[in-house]
Amino acid sequence: MRILVVEDEPKMRGLLRRALTEEGYAVDTADDGPRALALTDIAAYDAVVLDVMLPGLDGFEVCAALRRRAVWLPVLMLTARDAVADRVRGLDGGADDYLTKPFSLDELMARLRALIRRGPVERPAVLTAGDLSLDPSTRTVRRGDEEICLTGKEYALLEALLHRPGTVWTRAMLVEHCWDLGAGPGSNVVDAHIKALRDKIDRPYGIRAVETVRGTGYRIRRDGGRTATGTP
């Protein structure tokens, strides 16, 4: 098992290298983001221990860059503060887990073992179907370069559909994912929100990404509707 440690502070970098080596891992280290990205290009790692506070590219940016390059190896982030915003940003940006400094080496090892057991999981931080994209970290939706403003419900429905492009979602499944427990609206309410969503992401572009599956529910086309034929 080969681990990449990305940390600019020499003392912490040395400590992590020694501890991981003692556990039997092969360890490479990088002291900044660009070096870390260069190393992941040339070596196959089983996990990355990534400090958030780095000069130049910070840990969030390194993680996002890895995911953009479709590098799915597990990322354990080290955050300096116990700041919820940092953890949320890290996880939304494609990190798998985080530890707040100061941490115990035992806990670090346990979390690494769990991540390595799980292996690389393909889960893009930005959900896409064709040129339609949704970025959960910024809650932005785009058709190509154009940003589209959605209501909370429209966003929730699109996020659900984009999690599994091409898969049919029944109205009941959509309600379960997008509405509070016990607040289940009638299926006509789901239909109304879907119509409103289409009016924003499809109709202005003359295409149909959100398809009705008669008698069942809805699905979003993998190609985002760009190659759809017929009238939207």
Q: Which residues bind Ca ion (CB under 5 A)?
A: 8-9, 51, 53
Beta strands in 57-216 (DSSP E): 75-79, 97-100, 127-129, 132-135, 140-143, 146-148, 169-170, 210-213
Which residues are CB-contacts of 107 (< 8 A; sequence separation ≥ 6)? 99
Element (H, E) at 190: helix 187-201
- Count helices and strands in the chain by DSSP H and E runs: 8, 12
3 vs 161 by CB, closer to Ca ion:
3
Residue 32 or 191: the one with the smaller Cβ distance to Ca ion is 32
Q: How far apart are CA 112 and CA 55, in angstroms?
A: 24
| Shorter beta-carbon distance to Ca ion: residue 108 or 207 | 108
* Nearest distance in Å: CB 1, Ca ion: 24
Minimum Å distance from CB 6 to Ca ion?
Answer: 9
Compute the distance between CA of residue 207 and CA of residue 170 in angstroms, rounded to an integer: 22
- Helix locations, 53-140, DSSP H: 59-68, 84-92, 105-118
Least distance CB 138 / Ca ion (angstroms): 25
Q: Which CB atom, from 7 or from 154, has the smaller least distance to Ca ion?
A: 7
Amino acid letter, 21: T
Residue with the CB atom nearest Ca ion in the bound state: 53
CB of residue 78 to Ca ion, shortest distance in Å = 8
3-class state of residue 214 by DSSP: coil
Smallest separation, CB 49 to Ca ion (Å): 11
Cβ nearer to Ca ion, comparing 10 with 119: 10
When the beta carbons of 51 and 96 are compared against Ca ion, the nearer one is: 51
User: Do 76 and 95 touch, CB atoms closer than 8 A?
Assistant: yes
Shortest Cβ distance from residue 8 to Ca ion (Å)? 5
Contact 230, 183 (CB under 8 A): no
